[in-house]
Amino acid sequence: MRIGRSAALSDAGRRRRRNEDSFVREPPLFAVADGMGGALAGEIASRLAATALEEAVHAGPPIDVVAAIREGNRRIQERSLTDPAAAGMGTTVTAVLVGEETLSIGHVGDSRAYRLRGDTLEQLTPDHSLVAELVRTGQLTPEEAEGHPQRAVITRALGTDVNVEVDFLEVVAEPGDVYLLCSDGLTTMVGDRDVRSILLRERTSLEAAVRALVAAANAAGGEDNITCVCFEIVAGPSPAEETGELPLPPAAATMILPAEQAVTGWNDAAPTDTEPTIVGAPTTPAQTVPAAAPTEPPLVTRRHRRHRKLPYVVGLLVLLAVAIAAGLAMLSRVHFVGADGRGRVAVYQGVPWELASRLRLYRAVYVSPVLAAQLSQPERLRLFDHGLHSKRLALSAVRAFERELVR
Ligand code: CA
């Protein structure tokens, strides 16, 4: 058993100016890291994690994947303490080391490792994410979690805790297996079912597979950086050198979209122009009222009917206007605590709902430097309880953590 072909591709997506993901494609080790933090910090964090893993491979066997992840964590912490611009940065990491018959996986955060065996796709790693936590404690259903505005918020990351807990798992590999490592920029945009069909369709070329996966995430909105690393296990003894089919070095395979296609800050995930659509959304019922009857009655009767319907239409429009006004007044008063696309705790005005995945009934009114991953699990469950509060209460809950955690 040995590693066959491999391919990797990282893309900034369609909404982010920068690509904060990093990946490692150094057989026998593959990894993805998804950085977070302000300015350049996310890129620095994910790169530090990737470099620690690459160095472990270059140092030669035996490679300890968990020790290499912990080394990355140590370096990120060290950098956070000495470089104010990098304070509070963090990264996920999902690393797979291919051994003789087993794969050793080290994992922190919400990047994922998948295995395609036959035509079955299986997620091997658990998500260390707020939404996954809320599902496990019964506060959200898996369906609610799928379109949840805070699905990108992670609860465990490198860089936030000296003693980071690293999940370690071993899986037995078989010839024919295809493994996919990816950042959440893929999985929040493309469901497992589509990931599976793309991998099955493009199985003969892993390079085509990673391109198709990235393209699918961009076609679905490309709201975050997208990174995919694929490799296959084949029968036979390990050759001295396996070049794979993608001749480009990892850096050359990285594509960054032009800056004009991106917007900055948290608002990359919620452009301000979505707000007026809340007002426009409920107008559909009014448009459906004057629908033509299937058989054409005489002109006089039609006019007569239209007159009789007029008071109802006016009444309906008035009701609608009242409902919209009440809805907007309610949205402007309620606040909840959540976390933005970069994992920072934030106070939102409105309710934590999205309509048709594009219309958001909330907007950030305050973004804190505190990362959700810096809080303990009980603290997170308490803070992100989805209760609606006044702005003052929501802000004071967040500020209490700031006093404790911000250096
Ligand atoms: Ca991400």
Q: 169: CA distance to ligand 1 center in Å? A: 23
Comparing CA positions, the residue from 200, 178, 171, 170 lying closest to residue 117 is 178
Q: 328: CA distance to ligand 1 center in Å? A: 31
Structure tokens at 131: 């939404």
Q: 19: CA distance to ligand 1 center in Å? A: 9
The answer to whether residue 287 sits within a structural domain is: no
Q: What is the CATH number of the domain that holds 37?
A: 3.60.40.10
DSSP code, position 204: T
Contact 336, 348 (CB under 8 A): yes
Contact 388, 333 (CB under 8 A): no
The answer to whether residue 40 sits within a structural domain is: yes
Domain limits at 347?
333-405
The answer to whether residue 263 sits within a structural domain is: no
pLDDT of residue 307: 64
Q: How far apart are the C-alpha atoms of 149 and 355, rounded to whole Å?
A: 11
| Pair 366, 234 in one domain | no
The answer to whether residue 275 sits within a structural domain is: no
The answer to whether residue 350 sits within a structural domain is: yes
Q: 361: CA distance to ligand 1 center in Å? A: 22
Q: 174: CA distance to ligand 1 center in Å? A: 30
**Number of structural domains, the chain?**
2
pLDDT of residue 260: 32
Domain end, chosen from 253, 273, 307, is at 253
Q: 89: CA distance to ligand 1 center in Å? A: 13
| Pair 390, 248 in one domain | no
Mean pLDDT, consecutive 10-residue stretches, the chain (407 aa), reads 96 93 98 85 95 97 96 94 84 96 96 97 94 86 78 84 93 97 95 97 96 97 96 80 42 36 32 30 36 42 59 87 84 83 82 69 85 78 77 86 73
Task: Classify 201 as helix, strand or coil.
Answer: helix
pLDDT of residue 193: 95
Q: 160: CA distance to ligand 1 center in Å? A: 17
| Pair 77, 191 in one domain | yes
Q: Where are the alpha helices (DSSP H) in 204-335?
A: 206-219, 276-280, 284-288, 299-333
**Which residue matches tokens 């705790």?**
345
Cβ density class 230-240: b for 16+ within 10 Å, e for less: bbbbeeeeeee
The answer to whether residue 61 sits within a structural domain is: yes
Q: 385: CA distance to ligand 1 center in Å? A: 23
pTM: 0.66
| Pair 357, 222 in one domain | no
Q: 17: CA distance to ligand 1 center in Å? A: 13
Q: Which amino acid is at 330?
A: M
Structure tokens at 269: 């995930």
pLDDT of residue 38: 66
Structure tokens at 346: 């934030």
Structure tokens at 349: 């005005």
| Pair 245, 361 in one domain | no
The answer to whether residue 103 sits within a structural domain is: yes
Q: 300: CA distance to ligand 1 center in Å? A: 62
The answer to whether residue 121 sits within a structural domain is: yes
